[in-house]
Structure 1
Amino acid sequence: MRPYFEKMALIGKPLTDSQKQSGKENVEDIRKVEADVLKAIDAVKNAGIPAATIKKRGQTTIWERIEYLVDPGTWCPLHTLYNPLFNEEGTTGVIDGLAKIKGKWCVVIGFDNKVMA
């Protein structure tokens, strides 16, 4: 698919300055929503037992294991905010996503050992 998109003809035309100006409010609204999502993701990452306790046990957190495992800049998380039973931790404890490992795309699934099941 990559060659298709690289050679794909441009659609439409560039936005005018007045169109960009009229879209500023939308951009600000989107930035606010993005900030809320980032706060929720941070809450999931910090849920459960403190990371310092995990380190005292000689273990690493799921986020440290993912960072060690995947190629830098390729982690694309899925379902980070998924909490079907509304657990008090705000997460299922299962972390999954797509990433490259040694240049190959794969699915990465792990359990957050900071969150009790």
Structure 2
Amino acid sequence: MSVSEGEREVQQQQQHLKVDYSKPYAKRRPDEPRSHYAQRLKFINELIRGMGDSLSDDRIDVLSNCYTNVKFLNNKYHPDIMEILEKYDPDVGSVINSRHSIAHWKTPTADHGQQQQQAH
């Protein structure tokens, strides 16, 4: 039985993955968009490849949360953390140095909700 080229390619890609999908840090969060999850997994994979056994599961979980918060919410952390994040995803540097932040909808107030109900 021969292995198709597609199957061989998938096997090669899986050999490069270091993420253990049974770990809590590898689970997709309920409110996490698929695109963010895919990028977070890519970051985790690079992190594990680079730092290997020196990382505990808890540390990987914390760093992956920090990564998401920096990459998608423009949060900033202690320089040591930011250095790790940027090392394993160079795009984080452009987020850090950007003067623009992600636009957010204005949080509605209780008064605003009542005004909308009265308008209908």
Length-normalised TM-score, structure 2 = 0.31
If each structure's strand is expressed as a fraction of its own residues, which one has the higher value? 1
If each structure's helix is expressed as a fraction of its own residues, which one has the higher value? 2
Q: Which has the higher contact order (CA 8 A, sep 6+)?
A: 1
Length-normalised TM-score, structure 1 = 0.32
